[in-house]
Amino acid sequence: MPERQGRLTGKVCLITGAGSGMGRVAAGLFADEGARVVAADRDRAAVERTVAGIEGGEALALTMDVTDDGAVRDAVATIEGRYGRLDVLYNNAGIFLDEDGSVVDIDGELWDRVQDVNLKGVFRCCKHAIPLMRRSGGGSIVNIASFVALVGCSVPQDAYTATKGAIIALTKSLAVQYGPDQIRANAICPGPIETPLLTELLRDPAKRALRLNRVPLGRLGRPEDIVHLALHLASDEASWTTGGVFVVDGGITSNYF
């Protein structure tokens, strides 16, 4: 029988924040589907564990902090030197700080820190990756936004929310600008996902119950719930899909009461 062709066979995929959570799951699934995965994270040990756990696929671990423009530039240069192309940019890296809150309560330092990772990190990765994607003949950008960009929240997290709304706007601009180059750009808006980041944030049972009470499907999301959609958007199955904003939230944004 002929060898199975994966949905990403032959594609080079850069995944940021690949040291844990959704990024780690994405690295494994993308490799299983035939991609040559470049797993990037500022935590060298964590991203090496991600790559070590990948079986039957090709993966490269890169230490890259998305707040460091030079590091992002060098990572893309490494990808071009090794593979000669880049087909998928998966902007997954992000932070969510427990001290985040209303604009009247947080300080400028916290605001700037969240913007630097969540929004400027996407800017830096796109800035350096898009020229290589153009030289590669096109590709797919998958940006992780959030459901909080679409609805208000009585328990605010305004620094985080502002970055995710901006990511949606940027995604649409990228889709229009680079569509003629066959570069697609789409955003995914996850609901609350059971990752180490959220598990720590919701270590208080009351906080956890408050979130779960808003989810019609009655559970937090799993990383796979998001990554399977990202896989579709990265693949040629989505070759006519760009500028989209996809909500995967267990129904939380549809819940009036």
Model pLDDT for residues 61-78, shown as the tens digit of each residue: 999 999 999 999 999 999
Residues 100/24, Cβ–Cβ less than 8 Å: no
Of 35-49, 96-110, 188-202, 207-221, the range with the lowest mean pLDDT is: 188-202
> What DSSP string describes 37-102?
EEEEES-HHHHHHHHHT--SSEEEEEE--TT-HHHHHHHHHHHHHHHS---EEEE------TT---
Sketch out the chain's domains with CATH numbers.
12-192+223-245 (3.40.50.720)
Q: What is the mean pLDDT of the chain?
A: 95
Model pLDDT for residues 122-171, shown as the tens digit of each residue: 999 999 999 999 999 999 999 999 999 999 988 899 999 999 999 999 99
71 vs 207, higher pLDDT: 71
Q: Which of 83, 90, 160, 178 is catalytic?
A: 160
At 202 the pLDDT is 75
At 209 the pLDDT is 82
At 194 the pLDDT is 87
Model pLDDT for residues 40-58, shown as the tens digit of each residue: 999 999 999 999 999 878 9
pLDDT at 21 over 70: yes
Q: Is 83 a catalytic residue?
A: no
